[in-house]
Every structure is written in C-alpha cells, then in structure tokens.
Structure 1
Amino acid sequence: MSLQQDWDVIILGAGAAGLMCSATAGYQGLSVLVIDHAPKAAAKIRISGGGKCNFTNLDVTPKNYICRNPHFVKSALSRYPSSAFIELVDRHGLEYEERELGKLFCAHRASDLIQILRTECDWAGAQFSLKNAVERVTYRDQRYQVLTSQGRFSAKQLVVATGARSFPKLKASGFGYELAEQFGLRVLPQRPGLVPLNFSGKWQQRCAELSGISLDVAISAGSMRFAEAMLFTHQGISGPAVLQASNYWQEGEAIAVELLPTVDVLAELKKLRQGAGSLAKWLHGFWPKRFVNFWLALYPLQSEPANCNDAQLEAYARLLTHWELYPSQTGGYEKAEVTLGGVDTDEVSSKTFEAKKQPGLYFIGEVLDVTGQLGGFNFQWAWASAVACGIALGENR
C-alpha cells in the first residue's frame, strides 16, 4: 500500500515513546506517519527484561531520574503516572506480575505489550513505514520535509523519538542528537548507563574466577546507595545493584560494596569472639563456598575472632561493610540498557516537548537528557513524555 506524502505529524522512531505518541496524536484526529529503519516496531521492548519487559513501576517519582534540570520531568510524570499506563494495559487484558521494589513485568512475553501498543495505533489510525531509513530532514514553508529511502514525506509537526545509543546491535544511533544540533539545539555529552562495570588486570581475573556468583549487597557510588543483587562476570560485575550504581559512577572513582547489608557486622563479629566461633563457618551462612574461599584467601583475619581485639574486629567489619573496588570502565553501549545525556532539556518545553527555538519540532523519550533508574522508570518516561507530546500535537495543529 502506497502512503500519502503529506501528514499532520511524522514521528521518527517506532519504539516505546514513538508508538505511544502516535496513538495519542491519532486520537486527537491527526494524520500520523511513523517512520523507522527497523523491520519491526518496538525492538527494544521485545528484548528488555529478559523478554518480559519491565514496563513501569508502582512507585515513580522525579527522584528516580537523572537530568541536569531535575524539575523537568515533574510535569509529564504527574500528568501521566504509572497508574494511567497500568489502566491502559488492564483494559487490554495484559497479564503481568509484580516483582521486587514495585517492578511490573509482562507475565508471558513482551510481544503481548507490543501488540497492545500496535492495536492502539491501529485504532487511532496511525500509519507505519518500517524498513525505511531517514536520509535528510529539512524545514521550509512551515513544514518538515523528510527524505527517506522510500520517498519524501512532509508534515507540519515532526516528533523525534529515535532513542539513544544503547543497543547498537538494534542499529541504535545518535541520529536524534544530530537532528537536534541541525536545528540549533544544545546536546549534552552521552555515556552508557545501567551498564555492567568491568575491571582490568588482576581484578578482571579475580572476577572471572568468581563468574556466575550472585550476592545480595548494597553498592554506593557518589551519594547514591542501591541494595540489590551483584553478579560476578568474566569481565567484572553486573546485576541490578551494579547497573543502578553505574549511572552515578565516574571513571577513576571507587564504588563501595556492603557485602552483608542487612547484618550488624561488628556486633556479630564480637558475638563470634565471645562464643569462640569460626569466621569461615559464619561467612558460609551468607555466601557460596567459592566466594568464602576467595574472600578469606584475599582478606584473612589475623586470627579467629576469639583472639582479636576490638580494633582488629572493627577494621575487619569496615572491610566487609565498605569494600572498595575500582572499575576500569563500563561495558559500553553494547551492554548498556540506557544512555545518559542527550538533548538538553532547557531547549525543550517540559509541558509540550516542543523545541523552544524551532516550531513544530518535538523530542521525547530517551533522546532527551533524562535517564531513569532500573525498574521500569525509563519506560514510564517514554509513556509520559509521549502522551504529553501527543496531546500538544493536537492542540498545536
């Protein structure tokens, strides 16, 4: 089926934000074309959360986001809270499950959620042009001209929902940033976020030897602390606590690991001293044998607790509660779930997401300098920013 050339709205990107925005705008009575170079819509939704997509969180606040302007996210999140998206998927009968810390996942597969979004787009009358690469965007006579591999299309309003650099295997790129700069918007430096941390030299070898071991820890990076699981890998460390900390870690800095975050370590060591207990046996109550052996080989207590004075026990407790590690680098964009940085939010209206310097040009989702913590917050930002933008498109027709 050949597509018409002229539209009210063209949306670049058929990911989470693009799909949500196209349905919202279509329901405003606008003609909407969604263009994406991928053969299928919503590739990132399909693979996220181990194929089950952590699509939102029961407790979403502005504090769950990193943005140079911390107030920017407040308007969209308050107007479209997670309860609104839950209501949407409930109407479609999506089966989902609640996991730790308020995370909501599809009960079966992420494609169930994609089907809901595509159905909403169909009902709203949005049209799709997939496997279609954008070659050039220009603006003249108050319309955006989008030259693609499948022809030329034009619209009064253009929405950039292209995502960011994470997942290059899905052909993610910096195209949205280039478009922003083309129209004079400031773009902040980017780096991988929600990403494993890697080590070099002897520490990389040590992590490789521990590969596959998972521990419940608390990790601090900067002023932030996250109490979740840490997983050792062949290159370093991963797992929810590490991914969370990676958003706040800066190269050259240490992270501090609390290996027994729910235990009053010093008090327990003093009990061991009083009862002449074995440190190794005590640690076996918390950790796998392989990690206990590693730990005691690297950090032996000078003697059993019964023979240690207070200063020795305090020093050892400090080690267990503040184990400093120095990652060498992140796992890069190939392992990152999100991208930190992006289009400066000072350049965009927090209510409509329209560029302040360029009429009819909008930026939503991850292309902006807004990054959520792990737990469904990035998808909730996609839904909220898309709905706010979709409504504005109808008001600005």
Structure 2
Amino acid sequence: MDWDALGRKLRGTLLRPGSPGFEDARKLFNPLNDDHVPAAVAQCESPSDVSEAVRAGAGRVPLAARSGGHSYTGYSAPHGGLVVDLRRMSAVTVETDGTTTVGAGASLRDVYTTLGQANRCLPAGSCFTVGIAGVTLGGGIGVLQRRFGLTIDHLAAAEIVTADGRTLKVSAVRTPDLFWGLRGGGGGNFGIVTQFTFVTDPAPALTLFVVVFPSGKVTEVLSAWQPWISAAPRELWANLNISGGDPPGCRVAGCFVGPSNACHPLLDDLIARCGVLPSRRTVHDRDFFNAMRFFAGRPDRESFVASSRVLNAPAADPAAVTSLLTGRTGTALILDPLGAAVADVGAQQTAFPHRSAFATAQVYASATAASEAEVTKSVAEVVAGLAAQGIGGGYVNYIDPALPDWAESYYGQNLGRLRSVAHDYDPDKVFDFTQGLSRV
C-alpha cells in the first residue's frame, strides 16, 4: 500500500501512526475500542477524496467509513486498515421548501442546530455526537418516530462512493435496489455515503417529560406501560428505562408533539394504570432544538457494552423481565416504543424489517477495561433471558458480534434481498467486516 501516493492525491489529510493528530483522529466514542489502531486515517474533504481512498485501499487493507464513531464494537476503526473519516464533510443546508442536504460527516448536533434555526424538523437519534450517516443507514429510531416515522422515511436521495471508486447519485428512480438497501441495511455495507438529502417537516412545539417511580415497582410499571403506550396517540412517544439493582428501578421519559396541557392527562392515565405514585414528575414545553438537546446526554466518551432485542409484541411476563435486571447494578434495559407512523410503512418497502414490532430493547451496561469481560457476560445473559421469553431480533445500530443469528436478527425477511444488493455493488467484498452483508 503506497500511503505517500494516497496522501498526495487527497485534498484532505492522511494521518499515519506517529503523525500529529493521529491519536485523536483514530479514537472512537467508546474507549473500550482504543485497541483498534488503523494503519491510516484519511480525513476526507470531498467525494473525490473518498473515491481516492477507496481506490487506494480496495483489496489491500480493510476499509471503513467513520462519521460519529459510535459503532458499538468499533467497526469504524478497522485494526491495521484505512479509516475514511468523513467528519470534514459536515455541511447542512436547508432549502426554502424544507429539503435538506447533509454531509455524511455531520453530527446530530450539526443537523438539529441548522434545522432548528430554519424551524424545520427531522426525526433521528438522540445523542448529539452520533453521526447522521450511521443513524440513517440503520433505520433511524428516535423520540419523534411515532409521529413522523424513522429517519429513512424522510430520505429522498443520497450520494455514495461504491467499491470501484465511482460516485453515484442514489434515489428511488435512479437506483431503486440500492436506495432500498440504504434505508435500513446498516452502515459499512454497499459503499460509503457522502451526502444525504432529506424531506423535513415544520418544527412542532414539543412537551418533554420524565416520570420516575420508586425502586421495586418495575413489574407494576412495565405491566401498565405496555398497554398504555400501545393505545397512546401517535403524538406521544415514551420509553421505559429499567435500571438494574436490588431491587431494579425505572423511569418513563418521553416527548409529546403538542402542548403540555394536552400531555398531562396522558401521564395521569399512566400513573393510574400503574397504581404507583411517582417519586418525581417533570414536564416542560420546548421548541424542537431544545427538545432534542434535552435527550442528548453527555458528549464525553463513555465505556460500555451493549446489545439489543426487538419485542414483536408486549412482553408476556413483566415479572420475568424485572428479574433479568435484579442485582445487575450499572446495567439498563431501555424499551423504545415503535408503532404508529413507523408501522405505516410496510416491512419490505425499506430494508428496516421491524415495522410491525412493538418496541426495541437496548441492553446497555457501563464497563471498564478491567470489567469488560464480566460485563459482556452479564449483558449476554440479559439478552439470552429476553430470547427465552420469545423476544428475538435485533437493531443493527446496536450492533453486537455476540448476538446469535445476527444477520437474521437485524434484517429478518429482507436479508436475502440485502445480500443480493451487496453482491451487486461490492462483489469483491471491499467493505467486508465481521458483521457485514458480505459475510452472509
């Protein structure tokens, strides 16, 4: 691999081990992946830079795109490979009709800031440092999905560099199979997307709320939350976060599209169904940007182990779910409801297969380098416990190499078509990685 030649061809910067800035550029969000040391990081400034990087690395070293760097298992920093860093390609432009073009290196903070200034709205993820590319390519679940759908439901077109270095304009008319695959087929497959075009909505007024319940009441709250959110209007999204402990605790937090005076009766109904008085209840009216910032969390790097499952229907045994978190301090089970606008689109209209599911379940646990093995085992036990209750499937943006039957879990009935699209656009497996479509 002639790194010097590649460096000369780039408008951006090629960083190698020992170069100033390399250590910062190579690190991802999760410090547990700091042992992933690529051979080089190409800080690309244009699609032509991405094309040069792909042509130079194809068939010679592992290749991976990096946007936000939140890949749970560090796939965006292949050890000994070439990172195609898109973060300099982060421009966000909003047209007068609300159509928005977004560079693939943009973070959600970039996207929400520009949209908020234009009084527009796009449903996407929550953490501000997550990249728009990863969010979109996996489907794009978020706090507005029950009202506005997934991020991919607003995708109108994309620009992508394919395995042979070509730059393609992708849309439902130009390249229908590839456009279908990009909407839920997961990051790292097909090629490297350099730009997205979204259709946005006028930004609504939003109500944010958090209802915290006393420890030891998880079973009662879960038993009430499931039918409550199933029957809720599509303007309401509310997740259930169960925190491990002895006993476990929980809180319901969410977002209502509308004013707080219309949200309060819905929360009253939840509390009545639970038969448990909350220890804290907060409700705030917010504009779109400040609502998204509320859910953003901390920007600091964080060490964690995570996995996922998908509830095709409400959990039949809430007490059994509670028992999975008993004694597991530092572990959370986060149930994010689907339904409503998410289910308005058929399971095979996009590559995201979980359209008719009730909720996604993320298992998330804090860890250190010293505790990683133990925490990984604990997370796997929770995931297996959910599977034993008939809760299967998984969300590709919560990617986990230990997930049994991962390809079927992520893609379901869409796996065969996705495999075919991947073969058509990357027959030589240039973008191969452990959980890539080239492996199935």
Tell me if both proteins adopt one fold, taking TM over 0.5 as the criterion.
no
Query: Which is greater in Rg?
Result: 1
TM-score in terms of structure 1 length:
0.24
TM-score in terms of structure 2 length:
0.23
Structure with more helix by fraction: 1
Q: Which has the higher contact order (CA 8 A, sep 6+)?
A: 1
